Amino acid sequence: MVLVAGSANLDFVVRAAHIPAPGETVMGHSVQSFAGGKGANQAVASARAGGVRTEMVLALGRDSHADFLKTSLRSAGVGLHLHESAKQTTGTAFICVADNAENAITVAPGANNDLQVQHLPSLAGFSHLLMQLETPLPTVTACAAAAKAAGLTVVLNAAPAYPLAPALLALVDILIVNEGELRSLAPGAGSVAQAMQALPCAAVVVTLGAQGSAARFGEQWFFQPGFAIQALDTTGAGDTFCGMLVAQLSQGMPPAQALQRANAAAALACTAMGAQASIPTQAAVAAFLQSLGPEDLAAVTRLRDACHLPPHE
């Protein structure tokens, strides 16, 4: 089983021709609300991966936004360990999605700031704990320590980017970051590969946008080129990647295959609006992969060379 500890937000999404610059007002095309939050998105992605019992510990306010988020999570099959905050409203995010599918996001954490280690359920039966950085860092560290002591694999998606104490990184078995987050954790490290090697975690996974992803599991390296899709909204793509990856690894899937499925799920998530609303099922991911031709080895080589990674063994 996978346990996700993290944030849940109600997303207000405005589509516009472009993301406004500082001081600029942009007329939007439309506005919609979606269930979101990095933690909740990743829990839904894990649950939709198929065959993986996924539960989530989260904090929500006592308001109608909370009801909307609980319904979304439960309908995806996520079991909830809920702390209701008496002082904070449910977290919200304000997202501008440009016509080129890029986005800019502002988050008001609200009740997410009330999540604490004592809200964790019994860890018996769980194999992996997946966390992000939209809840307080002391809570993330304490939850990681509790999971480590209980023998779980600790997975941290270090997003949004924050400086992380060595004590927290020492508790992380699998670190998932994008290239910007990787650079913030290993400044001045040189190439992507050198930055990955500079971090103390046993495994480091880096998402590289449309290029794909790269991973180091111990001394083994894996490269997965991106998939060509017509992007509509990139919101939640990284979360989809994280949830799918951890779900597959929790079932014993080899890293190369898990990386491929996570990349495919993230690509499909970019073809629909919203965060949780766009997360594909395992069946959709499998059908997408079956529709593709044989692996483009030249693309693998280009990705490896771009990251200055060693040859695959």
The residues that are catalytic are 239
CB 54 within 8 A of CB 88: no
Structure tokens at 259: 């990386």
Q: What is the Cα–Cα distance from 71 to 54, expressed in whole angstroms?
A: 15
Structure tokens at 204: 């480091």
DSSP state string for the chain? -EEEE---EEEEEEEESSPPPTT----EEEEEEEEE-HHHHHHHHHHHTSS--EEEEEEEESSHHHHHHHHHHHHTT-EEEEEEESSSPPEEEEEEEETTS-EEEEEE-GGGGG--GGG----TT--EEEE-SSS-HHHHHHHHHHHHHTTPEEEEE--S-----HHHHTT-SEEEEEHHHHHHHSTT--SHHHHHHHS-SSEEEEE-GGGEEEEEETTEEEEEE------S--TTHHHHHHHHHHHHHHTT--HHHHHHHHHHHHHHHTTSSSSGGGPPPHHHHHHHHHTS-S--HHHHHHHHHHHTPPPP-
> Among candidates 41, 29, 13, 9, which has minimal Cα distance to 277?
41
